Amino acid sequence: MSTSEVVELEGHIIDSGLMERAFTVVMDMGGEFEVEEFRVGKHSDEASYCRLRVFAADEAGLHPILHELHQSGATLAAPTDATLQPAPADRVVPDGFYSTTNHPTDVRVDGEWVPVGNIEMDCAVVVEDEGEPTRARTKVLNAIEAGDHVVTGDAGIRVKPPERPRGSSGPFGFMRGGVSAERPSESTIRRVAESIAETKAEGGDVLVVAGPAVIHSGAGPALAELVREGYVDAVSAGNGFAVHDMERSMYGTSLGMDVETMEHPRKGHKHHIYTISQVARAGGIEAAVEEGLVDEGVMYECVTNDREFVLAGSIRDDGPLPDTITDAVEAQNAIREQAHDADLVLMLSSLLHSVAVGNCLPSTTRVVCVDINPATVTQLLDRGSAQAVGMVTDVGMFVPTLAEELVR
């Protein structure tokens, strides 16, 4: 091994698994390491520290090791300023631009660490150094403007992954990530309810990401109750969710099935198309509520209680509704704004929208994902939302039980 670099790990690096991950990364990528200094925190609120020299055969082998260590929270022992290069054109980033994680991040500018605002994964970092103070923020690639000062490489960047909470006290103690069908449902729902109640008591916002299965399963009235009672501040969904929610209000069916009797009335399969037509004729969801066409349900409660909703369209949509955002970039921006405002996100049986919202969330935002299919929750975690708590259960049982815990 002919080249080396020294990195530092600091914080609760033992019980959070950071130190073990660092050792594994080095060895799996063909490098070697030597621990030059190691201090263990002796109390629960005391940080540990490890100074690690990493060896590789050459610079070409060392760089990817350092990159992986950096993504996990390791920093160079002798940090330098971040490298800034101007964007050559609108929507074009310089070669080697730094692609963000969803963890809190700082960049070093003129010897000072500057926090990166609006952190989310898979973005560029733009530094605005005109005026005081210097600011840094993420930008999606399609928002890059010619001349933006874009961070390139890994130098001068500090990533801070959330550390595993010590102990299990408090309503958020159970939120350690992972997915399991083995957790006791009622006790887990109770703790989710406690988390939502505490978020609201602290003045935080709760965002619900909902799929049509919420309506199909009969959980729509319970979710509507949560919106009405102020436990849900915003709803992110697709065209289908809103259509079937209003179809239930207008016809008592969801995708043509009577949600009470489970029967399929004559011409029931046309009810969702009729719903779209009537809402469009009224001029949109708000107008349909004001005219009395829609007098119950989630969308009704959103309108009457001034709760924000974003309906992001897809190529599969019937209609779509006038309120559905059909421009993909515009829909992404609307979802991003909702996600940045949220303090807790409850994802209910919607794979595509859950992943879309998850992509916009910093790793410090609490996330609970509920789906009958464990692959949905697993994909969310694999995509990078490692802070998510997964619950594999029927959303038709989960939402009414949650509402009962919160409201009654």
Whether residue 367 is contained in a domain is answered as yes
From the list 213, 280, 206, 279, the residue with the least C-alpha distance to 240 is: 213
Percentage with pLDDT > 90 across the chain:
55
* Co-location of 126 and 1 in the same domain: no
Report if residue 364 sits inside a domain: yes
Residue 169 has a pLDDT of: 44
**Candidate from 217-231, 273-287, 386-400 with smallest mean pLDDT:** 386-400
Contact present, 126 and 150 (Cβ < 8 Å) = yes
Predicted confidence at residue 253, as pLDDT, reads: 86
User: How do residues 32-87 score in pLDDT, each as one tens digit?
Assistant: 899 988 888 877 778 888 899 999 988 888 888 988 888 878 888 888 899 999 99
In whole angstroms, what is the distance from residue 193 CA to residue 171 CA?
Answer: 9
Same domain, 362 and 384: yes
Quickly state the pLDDT bin for 19 (edges 50, 70, 90): confident
Instruction: Say if 43 falls within a structural domain.
Output: yes
Once rounded to an integer, what is the mean pLDDT over residues 165-188? Answer: 55
What is the rounded average pLDDT of the residues 296-306? 97
Q: What is the pLDDT of residues 119-163, one digit of tens each?
A: 999 999 999 977 678 999 999 999 999 999 999 988 899 888 876
pLDDT at 170: 46
The rounded distance, in Å, linking the Cα atoms of 348 and 133 is: 41
User: pLDDT band at residue 385, thresholds of 50, 70 and 90?
Assistant: low
Q: Compute the average pLDDT of residues 6-20.
A: 83
pLDDT at 280 over 50: yes
Q: What is the pLDDT of residue 173?
A: 52
Decide if 172 is inside a domain. Answer: no
Question: What is d(CA 91, CA 135) in angstroms, rounded to the nearest whole number?
Answer: 20
For the chain, the farthest-separated pair of C-alpha atoms sits apart, in whole angstroms, at 78
- For helices 351-360 and 328-341, angle between their N-to-C axes, nearest 10 degrees: 70
State whether 41 and 103 are in the same domain.
no
Q: Is 216 a domain residue?
A: yes
> What percentage of the chain exceeds 70 in pLDDT?
89
Q: Classify residue 171: in a domain, yes or no.
A: no
Domain end position, chosen among 166, 200, 226: 166
For residues 234 and 335, membership in a common domain is answered with yes
- Mean pLDDT across the stretch 347-374? 90
Do 285 and 216 lie in one domain? The reply is: yes
70, 108 contact by CB (below 8 A): no
Stretch 339-363: mean pLDDT: 92
Give the CATH number for residue 140.
2.40.420.10
Average pLDDT over residues 246-263: 79
Higher-confidence position of 133 and 321: 321
CATH classification of the domain holding 74? 3.30.70.2690
Pair 255, 282 in one domain: yes
Residue with tokens 């500018």: 109
Q: Are residues 286 and 370 in the same domain?
A: yes
The most confident of the ranges 166-175, 260-269, 315-324 is 315-324
Q: Are residues 155 and 225 in the same domain?
A: no
Q: Does the residue 173 lie in any domain? A: no
Length of the chain: 408
Residues 273 and 246 grouped into a single domain: yes
CATH code: domain of residue 240: 3.40.50.10690
- Contact between 313 and 238 under an 8 Å Cβ cutoff? The reply is yes
* Whether residue 270 sits in one domain with residue 205: yes
Residue 395 CB-density burial (10 A; 0-12 exposed, 13-18 middle, 19+ buried): buried
Q: How many domains is the chain partitioned into structurally?
A: 3
Return mean pLDDT, the chain.
87
Which range of 313-317, 325-329, 348-352 scores highest in mean pLDDT? It is: 325-329
DSSP letters spanning 204-249:
--EEEEE-THHHHTT-HHHHHHHHHTTS--EEEEEHHHHHHHHHHH
Residue 330 is part of which domain span? Answer: 178-407
Examine the fold and report which residue of 166, 195, 218 is the final residue of a domain before the chain moves on: 166
If asked whether residues 316 and 257 sit together in one domain, one would say: yes
Q: What is the pLDDT of residue 258?
A: 67
CA 363 to CA 105: how far, in whole Å?
A: 11
Main-chain dihedrals φ then ψ at residue 386, nearest 5 degrees: -70, -15
User: Is residue 121 a part of any domain in this protein?
Assistant: yes
Model pLDDT, residue 171: 46
Identify the pLDDT of residue 11: 82
Closest CA to 173 of 190, 157, 151: 190
**Least confidently predicted of 98-112, 179-193, 221-235:** 179-193
pLDDT digits (tens, 9 = 90+) for 177-194: 555 554 557 888 999 999
Burial of residue 387 (CB within 10 Å: 0-12, 13-18, 19+) is buried
Domain boundary among 137, 166, 195: 166
137 lies in the same domain as 156: yes
Q: What does the pLDDT read at residue 406?
A: 94
Q: What is the pLDDT of residue 382?
A: 64
DSSP string, 30-43: T-EEEEEEEE--SS
Angle among Cα 202, 203, 204 to the nearest 5 degrees reads: 95
